[in-house]
Amino acid sequence: MPVAPDSWEPAASELSGKTLLITGASEGIGRAISLACAEAGAEVLLLGRNESRLESLYDTIMRTGAPTPGIIPIDLGSATYDDFVNLSSTIAQSITRLDGLVHNASLLGDRKPIAQTNASGWHQLMQVNVNATFMLTQTLLPLMELAPKASIVFTSSGVGRRGRAYWGGYAVSKFATEGLMEVLADELGATSNIRVNSLNPGAVNTAMRRAAYPAENPDTNPSPEALVNHWIYLMSDASEGVHGCALSAQ
Ligand code: NDP
């Protein structure tokens, strides 16, 4: 299912007044989404494990004249449930509500047959891609309930909708991501102002794609910047009513 209608372009202040949290903001798709949402007027909370990259993005956003972003340095691979509880209360001290949450951070992990997959690598991948996603979502839900129209986007993948050989824990984690989206969307549908969707970016020229396909010419894939309107659309009120959908950016 496609995302933003073909002719849709965000207004200059499409996300003005909204506060959004984006994980994996330090590079790739997450960095491009963060910058674009800030340029569309949002206050963006940049979550990642690489503080210097987050600071560099902070400086870039400040130079555009966009609202001052926030930086949340945290390693999703080692953060505990208590860390997420503390994080959400710290965030709640500086904002009155959270309008959007983009779960973008992921690990690719080993591209190996299941028979040769390393168990500790599997656990680490599930920790970042699934468990941290669950814990961050759950602990931020009360802040999102305070927003009149809130939106959660889970980042999926083609291999999270159809399993393929040698995609191992990454593919399984993306099936789990789709499951989390469906269950949460069904729970929130009738009772909440929060809409919940998953988005498969498709092939995008990032470090992850280049690692997964080392023999591919990277220029054959779009840049993250070319696709950001889909995330802006899902974070904006223009997508009101889009809920419980498994979407694709390409
Ligand atoms: P990148 O590898 O370029 O970026 C991943 C981001 O996640 C980085 O900011 C990285 O931080 C962050 N991250 C990884 N592990 C952790 C962690 N433990 N704690 C905090 N942050 C972490 O990937 P893409 O931009 O390509 O991918 C973004 C999303 O899109 C992912 O969910 C991916 O699965 C999905 N996707 C991408 C496709 C593509 O073709 N690119 C295709 C289909 C889906 P750091 O800078 O520290 O490494």
* 28 touches ligand 1 (CB under 6 Å): yes
Alpha carbon distance, N-terminus to C-terminus of the chain: 9
Query: Tens of pLDDT along 76-91?
Result: 999 999 999 999 999 9
Q: How far is the CA of 54 from the centre of ligand 1 (A)?
A: 14
Q: Is the pLDDT of residue 118 over 90?
A: yes
Atom of ligand 1 nearest to the CA of 77: 18
State the average pLDDT for the chain: 96
The reply to whether 128 falls in a domain is: yes
**Listed residue (47, 39, 32, 38) closest to 19, CA to CA:** 38
Q: Annotated active-site positions, please?
A: 170
Instruction: For residue 137, give Cα distances in angstroms to 26, 128, 144, 150.
Output: 20, 13, 9, 13
Domain harbouring 64, CATH code: 3.40.50.720
* 195 touches ligand 1 (CB under 6 Å): no
60, two tokens = 């870039």
The reply to whether 58 falls in a domain is: yes
The reply to whether 207 falls in a domain is: no
User: What is the domain extent for residue 76?
Assistant: 19-202
The reply to whether 227 falls in a domain is: no
Q: How far is the CA of 169 from the centre of ligand 1 (A)?
A: 15
Q: How far is the CA of 142 from the centre of ligand 1 (A)?
A: 26
Domain count, the chain: 1
Burial of 6 (0-12, 13-18, 19+ CB in 10 A): exposed
* 107 touches ligand 1 (CB under 6 Å): yes
The reply to whether 191 falls in a domain is: yes
Cα separation, 209 vs 162, in Å, equals 18
The reply to whether 10 falls in a domain is: no
User: Cβ neighbours of residue 180 under 8 Å, at least 6 residues apart?
Assistant: 130, 133, 134, 137, 154
20 - beta bridge partners?
A: 44, 100
Q: How far is the CA of 107 from the centre of ligand 1 (A)?
A: 6
Per-residue exposure over 130-153, b if at least 16 CB sit within 10 Å of its own CB, e if not: bbbbbbbbebbbebbeebeebbbb
The reply to whether 127 falls in a domain is: yes
Atom of ligand 1 nearest to the CA of 128: 18
The reply to whether 239 falls in a domain is: no
Burial of 33 (0-12, 13-18, 19+ CB in 10 A): buried
Q: Is the pLDDT of residue 3 over 90?
A: no
pLDDT above 70 coverage of the chain, percent: 99
Q: How many CB atoms within 10 Å of residue 5? A: 10
User: What pLDDT is attached to residue 2?
Assistant: 67
pLDDT band at 102 (very low <50, low <70, confident <90, very high): very high
Residue closest by Cα to atom 29 of ligand 1: 104
